Structure 1
């Protein structure tokens, strides 16, 4: 089959103004809970897009770890490519693809570094193996082999065999403060329903329907 012949209809339901909450975070939380209840694999997985100094976008999948009216929270190695790009340009986009429900959510905003106290609280809540992996990996940098990576992991495991594993000074987190949030619901004949929340001066939100 040719790629251009692969298509299907989106028939699970529409979206209109009467279904929307007053704020995008409240609407997002509703959809996220439905994804969790449906046991969609990795419901908190989001595509994080950043841009480097040359204007080249890059993307990767990261797990959302918290959301509230302040924004969307994730954690990462501060030496990673995304962290380095955010240090130069903190504009960011998050994309949640919930294919099972024929839904997408796109968040546009600015990534603000989290205080060390909040980063430490989350880091210490992670499984021990995940904490060790954070110490073992120089994220986004070349490594000679997987064996070399596993040897570094073993070294960290031995080093921190006793007691609490400390927070690495190269590990941090961000809160993405949204300026725009789009909700997309698939529709028949490619007549999808799209609504964009735009933050207004003073912090209120304006919602408008977009053409599919």
Structure 2
């Protein structure tokens, strides 16, 4: 039970941030190079699952939906993840490809927010990635009707066992309803926590020319 004198009241959990100065002159010329720098620093800093990101989509009523997915690659063109195309997020992306990604590297007092559009990767790319997944994860992609109601955990275990028998002794191909997306960014914001809540927020925004413009945002 919470109360005004509880040690676990959210307001009592406040902490000040002591992040380093984050200045325009120190940034890479494009956001993907800067993301690489911060991602590498999060790995070296021991951040658990630094590739975890919150993916935000919208449904047909315009209501937002969020869930955590895992980044599986990034390059100059964007950020890559994989999922069931018939899941809630897959159906939402089919209707509206506009998305937001959030990487929270809280131990370093950092976050990155990506705004962009998601597009399916080609099948060959999906097959290459799927072949690297553990066999158990491959079978799970066949067993799970992601986001749909299920009667019990036993039903899921039965579906997994059926998939295991189906592909016994052979390779497991990716299901036709499963594959990757590439999120092409239109804006990438880098947030560094600073003392007194005077945080540094630097955002790369893509202009019509295709060039990136860097701007500082008030915290």
For normalisation by structure 1, the TM-score amounts to 0.98
Residue 173 of structure 1: aligned partner: 180
Root-mean-square deviation (CA, aligned residues, Å) is 0.9
| Corresponding residue to 1:141 among 148, 173, 180 | 148
Write the distance in 1 (CA, Å) between the matches of 2:21 and 2:57.
31
Q: Distance in 2 between matches of 1:46 and 1:167?
A: 23
Of residues 177, 194, 197, the one that matches 1:187 is: 194
One of 23, 34, 53 as aligned partner of 1:27: 34
Deviation at 1:201, TM superposition (A): 2.0
Gaps of 5+ in 2: 1-5
Runs (4 or more) in structure 1 with deviation over 2 Å come to 1-6
**How do 1:101-116 residues align onto structure 2 when only pairs under 5 Å count?**
101-116=108-123
Deviation at 1:202, TM superposition (A): 2.5
Task: Find out whether 1:63 has 2:96 as its counterpart.
Answer: no
User: What is the correspondence of 1:94-105 to structure 2 with a 5 Å cutoff?
Assistant: 94-105=101-112
- Deviations along 1:49-76, one digit per CA (max 9) or x if unpaired, are 0000101100011000010111000000
Gaps of 5+ in 1: none
SS at match of 1:76: strand
The offset of 1:14, in angstroms, is 2.0
On the 8 A contact 1:183/1:195 being kept in 2, the answer is yes
* TM-score scaled by length of structure 2: 0.95
Q: Distance in 2 between matches of 1:76 and 1:66?
A: 14
State the alpha-carbon separation in 2 of the partners of residues 3 and 63 from structure 1.
28
Contact 2:57 / 2:65 at 8 angstroms: preserved in 1?
yes
Which of 177-186 and 33-42 deviates more?
33-42
**Deviation by residue 1:133-177 (Cα, 9 ceiling, x = unmatched):** 000000000111111101110111111112111221010111000
SS for the counterpart of 1:18 is helix
Query: Conserved in 2, the CA contact under 8 Å of 1:14 and 1:186?
Result: no
- Structure 2 distance, partners of 1:136, 1:185, is 41
Q: What secondary structure does 2:151 align onto?
A: coil
* Cα drift, residue 12 of structure 1: 2.6
Give the count of matched residue pairs.
212
CA distance in 2 between counterparts of 1:54 and 1:173 reads: 25
Q: Does 1:12 align with 2:19?
A: yes
Question: Does structure 1 retain, via aligned residues, the 8 Å contact 2:104–2:110?
Answer: yes
